[in-house]
Structure 1
């Protein structure tokens, strides 16, 4: 396999946060006058609340803050400090026990480390729980999503047991085409919903938390207590609006392309795609090669070809294998599927 064409500087592994000049160019025409900038955050909050079919939404500087606040409020409304989530939930894996150290909550991992939470896993819980976090999609296991009927059954379980339901919807925008239902219909299942302004929307940073009016007013208080006041956040809101206008309508297109690309990558010896086919524009590529050799040869090839498909790899329990993540976004407008396939194929020939 060989990569053809002129050398170009294309990185599919770099998000828009790492391309400030590009972001500024995109936003230049959207800045507006002072009044428009002052209304940017409230305008975005109203828009996202309407899109999700919730009475209110509040802007947060990070999803980490938004979700911890949501868990705090759900626990404060109930008689238990325990929250339940998947073993690879973002709150557990990436936030240094913030829910516990900052908010005095106790985490209860539910289900298998490598599989989605099931109704049987919830039925096996034998202690009071304040809230259940369901991540749609579950990023760390390849962007998997539960079937709609399974999701409904799990939400019914929360209602029967007096447990709050919270959606980690950082990638809800990418998940919606799989269900083929309106964002509001999906969000209606949950008491609270967090969505991200970057990731699939390719914004700068920021998140929104949506729910009932009293819940969101309480969330605003906690946001301010934690230093998340939104003064000067209008550039983040404007970038988020750009994503909603230009990228949200393209999510079905991104899903189709992810499935086509995954099919091509899966044909390379030593390569396996998870899940197959992808359920969202995000999927994982597993390589039968040592991670150090993969990174070494990927860097050499990137320097030669001007194309970088991934910036890091995930090590696995087997030291002879590793994986990386692909999310099809607008960055793929600058590269063909054949180029991505050939890049991965050449890495495998050298490292496998």
Structure 2
């Protein structure tokens, strides 16, 4: 189905093969060697995060499993902790256990941010604690920087590594009065995604100290991730760093304007009320199935893709969806988005 405009960052014309290849042709020159983009990407991410070394991976799933495996081998411990709605646990078929024999401890309430007391309630020695910034599945909320520093310091004091699930770290930085290196220094390892806020095709980078990344490179090869011809993925990510990364605060500001308009309209409301990053959730007084039907009809009639999917709610008469503002989201005015959302029941 033809998507002419998309509020969702992960679909629409900018993600089409033709558009991606057009932009790629502007970036790659006759002098570009197949190893150059990957090397440049790794060095650039390491520099942005203030880490000694970084390593490209074909997927974030692989990068994070490798990080946890290395921390487990280093500590001799098989357990790690994180938020109950950690991406590692919810979206990856528990690969940490199936492939690496690791155990996950959900810490805290599934609908609230993880706190220090939640971590202290985990009594098994941990190889690592995973911190997802922002916490996507509860609305893209962020812990206060001081709380984050306290929790990562506690993890390290117990012999556990502090690992950052930074799939949206580029966006998360806009919610802190701290630089990327100041955030990254709280963690032993940091994973960043290349295809979300940066609009790459696929891929991830894991950053850390020299020894950790050297061990990670062994596991990357064992898991089939040492791709010889990864240059297209790296080159497209480098384009995102040039174009998208400098605009993250602009995306955050537009997300706040969208949320303000949605909340002022009164039909729906956002979580959080004032987004601290370009990511937030919209909660609707509709069932999940009705919302999805309405969004499908909207797409058929107008070519506008409002969201990827609707999320379930304990109340079957309510649902929510995610908004992650990027370049395509800037095409929508706050008033337009509020009106599109209010009009969903009429399209069921």
TM-score, normalising length: structure 2: 0.95
**What per-residue deviation string (whole Å, max 9, x for no partner) do you get for residues 123-156 of structure 1?**
2221211100000100000001000110111012
What residue is the counterpart of 1:178 in the other structure?
A: 175
* 1:267 to partner: Cα distance: 2.4
CA distance in 1, matches of 2:93, 2:228: 27
What residue is the counterpart of 2:323 in the other structure?
A: 326
What residue is the counterpart of 1:47 in the other structure?
A: 44
What is the DSSP-based 3-state SS (H/G/I as helix, E as strand, rest coil) of the residue aligned with 1:227? Answer: coil
Shift in alpha-carbon separation, 1:119–1:185, aligned structure 2, 3 A:
same
**What per-residue deviation string (whole Å, max 9, x for no partner) do you get for residues 298-328 of structure 1?**
2222322232211310111111111100011
What residue is the counterpart of 1:15 in the other structure?
A: 11
CA distance in 2, matches of 1:339, 1:303: 18
CA distance in 1, matches of 2:124, 2:329: 46
What residue is the counterpart of 1:3 in the other structure?
A: none
User: Conserved in 2, the CA contact under 8 Å of 1:142 and 1:284?
Assistant: yes
What residue is the counterpart of 1:337 in the other structure?
A: 334
Q: Give yes or no for the alignment of 1:117 onto 2:114.
A: yes
| 2:79 maps to which of 79, 82, 93 | 82
User: Conserved in 1, the CA contact under 8 Å of 2:81 and 2:119?
Assistant: no
RMSD of aligned alpha carbons: 1.6
CA distance in 2, matches of 1:145, 1:281: 12
What residue is the counterpart of 1:70 in the other structure?
A: 67
User: Conserved in 1, the CA contact under 8 Å of 2:15 and 2:199?
Assistant: no
What is the DSSP-based 3-state SS (H/G/I as helix, E as strand, rest coil) of the residue aligned with 2:264? Answer: coil
Q: Give yes or no for the alignment of 1:253 onto 2:242.
A: no
User: Conserved in 2, the CA contact under 8 Å of 1:270 and 1:348?
Assistant: no
TM-score, normalising length: structure 1: 0.94
**What per-residue deviation string (whole Å, max 9, x for no partner) do you get for residues 191-226 of structure 1?**
000000011111110000000001101101100000
**What per-residue deviation string (whole Å, max 9, x for no partner) do you get for residues 28-50 of structure 1?**
11112254442110111011001
Aligned residues: 345
**What per-residue deviation string (whole Å, max 9, x for no partner) do you get for residues 53-77 of structure 1?**
0110000000000000000000101
Instruction: Structure 1: give runs of 5+ residues left out of the alignment.
Output: 1-6
What residue is the counterpart of 2:35 in the other structure?
A: 38
Moved more, 121-130 or 13-22: 13-22
CA distance in 2, matches of 1:127, 1:133: 15
CA distance in 2, matches of 1:45, 1:52: 11
What is the DSSP-based 3-state SS (H/G/I as helix, E as strand, rest coil) of the residue aligned with 1:204? Answer: coil
User: Conserved in 2, the CA contact under 8 Å of 1:135 and 1:169?
Assistant: yes
* 1:334 to partner: Cα distance: 3.0
| 1:316 maps to which of 310, 313, 316 | 313
Instruction: Structure 2: give runs of 5+ residues left out of the alignment.
Output: none
CA distance in 1, matches of 2:297, 2:55: 45
| 2:149 maps to which of 122, 144, 152 | 152
CA distance in 2, matches of 1:350, 1:290: 13
User: Conserved in 1, the CA contact under 8 Å of 2:153 and 2:186?
Assistant: no
User: Conserved in 2, the CA contact under 8 Å of 1:11 and 1:307?
Assistant: yes
What residue is the counterpart of 1:93 in the other structure?
A: 90
